[in-house]
Chain A
Amino acid sequence: MIRDDIIDFIYSEARMLDEGRFTEWLALWMPDAHYWMPLGYNQADPINETSLLYEDHFMLRLRVERLNGERTFSQKPKSRCHHVIQRPFVDVFDVKAGIFQTNTAMHYIETRLDEQQLLALTAIHDLCCVDGKLRIAGKKVVLVNSDAAFGNIQLLP
């Protein structure tokens, strides 16, 4: 495992989301991982305060299966998304323990019908290595304007 493997993983995850390969994306996640998108600026507690997202594997699976569903009215027609990401910082690189953490600045665009919205954010990934493959052990997405009023954000940065 070299640093480039970690960086490549972050790029390929963004590509999966942009190409709508959500089922494949879901398989990247460890069963006990959480996807957290705080609501408050510098929010420390994901449990006892409201977040935009704090989802375990059950909720992420539900989210993905709903996107693929027949009666998902808010996805008729479907949204599309697009990530432009900076080269991730690898903040933790512990091959021995199999623990890695990255910090990635992104511009995330989501579009549906005539609407398009741009979100600027930092994604912090906790990764681990299982059977020689990288998996997501946790992901925190900090929107630079997390406390602003939004319309629907339907796909995932």
Chain B
Amino acid sequence: MHADEIRALVQGHQVHRDVYTSHAVYQAEMRHLFANAWIFVGHDSQTPNKGDYITTQIGDQPVIQVRHSDGNIHILHNRCPHKGTKIAIDRAGNTGKFFRCPYHAWSFKTNGCRLAIPLKKGYDGTGLENTPNYEGMAAVGAVEVYHGFVFARLAYNGISFEEFFGDSLSSIDNMVARAPEGRLKIAGPPLRYMHKCNWKMLVENQTDTCHPMVAHESSAGTAIDIFREMGEPEPRPAAMQIIAPFMSAYEFFESMGIRTWPNGHGHTGVNMSIHSDYDAIPGYYEALKQTHGERKAKAILDESRHNSVYFPNMMVKAPLQQLRNFIPLGPDKTLVESYVYRLAGAPDQLVAMSSMYNRMINAPTSIVGHDDLEMYERAQEGLQSNGLEWVNLQRLYETGEDFDVEAVENGTTERQMRNQFDAWVKFMTADMEEAA
């Protein structure tokens, strides 16, 4: 596809349905957007020791996150430079001092560099050493580890990490500052939830504040009814604290506020959020106060950002130490991986609360997730309709919106969705030819 074709799909207040359904658009996203943008890969606590690795994808690109012998994290293309065999296929493991391809035993250091090729004399005089295949496993263009969160840019040239994320990193900062010891640690494997819909629907839903009271009435509304019938016992069950705020009125979500940052990032819950009214966990505030002092500890906890979207395909929920990675597998197929992290130095009840939230809301067995997935899949099917070709993003739209400046607006605006599409065009077309 060419840049003019991409631009024609986004008109500010609306986007063409092809952005969700077209295979050509999906392929262009994989080749351009997911190469030019910085993409979340994993957390460094998933690979704590030398030789530890995880396998995942950046867009449709299979990659390995590995801890090299010098302690640094490397992101390598998961492909033997010989015949293309994936070097690792388990989701996590330890490879020792080197990777060894199971097909012909070509071996590589944990930074990807070639270590040895068996029966090497067979290549004498063939010119193998003049090919890129000879170098070893290819590394991605750039890697950045930010407070333990590992991001990569596939392209060798492009926007820097700092410029790409800018002030949006403040949500990760807040999540990490919540740890009395200043770091996070992965708490078990992620939930893995398969969605037969386009990945962007999931990302847009992270800041869609006009759906919870509608789509989730059957879970959150029923929970409130049951709790009332029980005589509203105190303290409220943790499950109630989690689910009841989903039924908050439109006015509540309006006053939560939405902030957008340049390059497609943004978050709900500027002033407060559905996570603001959880019971305090004994001992936690005291531990945080010890680290930061009273004023700063309070400021950290008063920040109650709901969902922070890290464009293009990741979300952080700082008050609950959660991260959701929306991995595109096709125009109509997305794998959602939902992680929780433990706050180093905090009481166990925090990770217990995060784990409960994760299974209640983000699991394939979740009564909340069921209705979300139902909506996405109905949308994916409905978009096949030729009755209308455009998808509306017009709530609280203003002509001439400038996404290059940070903005804070009414919490029910669809501005963040428009912000994502503005960045989508920018990073899709950054390295595209103008026209055919």
Contacts and interface: CB of A to CB of B under 8 A. Distances in A.
Interface of A: 37, 39-40, 43, 45, 47-54, 56, 58-59, 61-63, 65-66, 69, 71-75, 147-154
B189 A40 contact: yes
A156 to B, nearest CB: 9
A58 B226 contact: yes
A58 B236 CA distance: 11
Interface in B193-242: 193-196, 215, 217-219, 221-223, 225-226, 237, 239-240
A150 B194 CA distance: 5
A109 B151 CA distance: 39
A27 to B, nearest CB: 15
Contacts of B359: 39, 50-54
Contacts of A152: 364, 369-370, 373-374
> DSSP class of B's interface residues: helix, strand, loop or mixed?
helix
Given A40-B189, A45-B188, A149-B194, 5 more contacts: A39-B363, A50-B363, A66-B222, A72-B218, A153-B364
A149 B56 CA distance: 14
Given A50-B191, A150-B193, A151-B196, A58 B239 contact: yes
Contacts of A63: 367
Contact of A73 (B215, B223, B352, B358): B215
Given A74-B373, A149-B194, A62 B367 contact: yes
A147 B189 contact: yes
A43 B189 CA distance: 10
A71 B221 CA distance: 10
Contacts of A45: 188
A148 B218 CA distance: 27
B371 interface: yes
A154 B335 CA distance: 18
A3 to B, nearest CB: 31
Contact of A148 (B192, B225, B237): B192
A48 B321 CA distance: 13
B11 to A, nearest CB: 30
Nearest to A40: B189
B375 A73 contact: yes
Contact of A150 (B192, B351, B374): B192
Find the residue from B219, B342, B351 having the highest chain A CB count within 10 A. B219
B85 interface: no
Interface residues of B, number: 45
Contacts of A56: 237, 239
Q: What 9 A-B pairs have minimum CB-CB distances, sorted nearest first?
A: A49-B188, A74-B374, A149-B192, A150-B364, A72-B218, A74-B370, A149-B194, A50-B358, A52-B365
A65 B226 contact: yes
A63 B226 CA distance: 11
Contacts of B91: 147
Contacts of A53: 359, 363, 365
A119 B375 CA distance: 24
Find the residue from A51, A63, A75 having the highest chain B CB count within 10 A. A51
B401 interface: no
Nearest to B335: A149
Nearest to B370: A74
20 contacts: A39-B363, A45-B188, A48-B187, A48-B355, A49-B188, A49-B355, A50-B338, A58-B239, A62-B219, A66-B219, A66-B367, A69-B222, A71-B217, A73-B371, A74-B371, A75-B218, A75-B370, A150-B194, A151-B193, A152-B373
Contacts of A39: 188-189, 191, 359, 363
A73 B358 CA distance: 21
Interface string B358-389: 11100111010111011100000000000000
Contacts of A50: 187-191, 338, 340, 355, 358-359, 363
A69 to B, nearest CB: 5
A93 B196 CA distance: 46
B352 A48 contact: yes
B294 interface: no
A149 B338 CA distance: 11
Find the residue from B237, B335, B370, B371 having the highest chain A CB count within 10 A. B370
A62 B226 contact: yes
B371 to A, nearest CB: 5
Given A62-B367, A151-B194, A51 B355 contact: yes
B4 interface: no
A79 to B, nearest CB: 10
A64 to B, nearest CB: 10
Nearest to A69: B218
B348 interface: yes
B325 to A, nearest CB: 12
B373 A151 contact: yes
Nearest to A62: B223
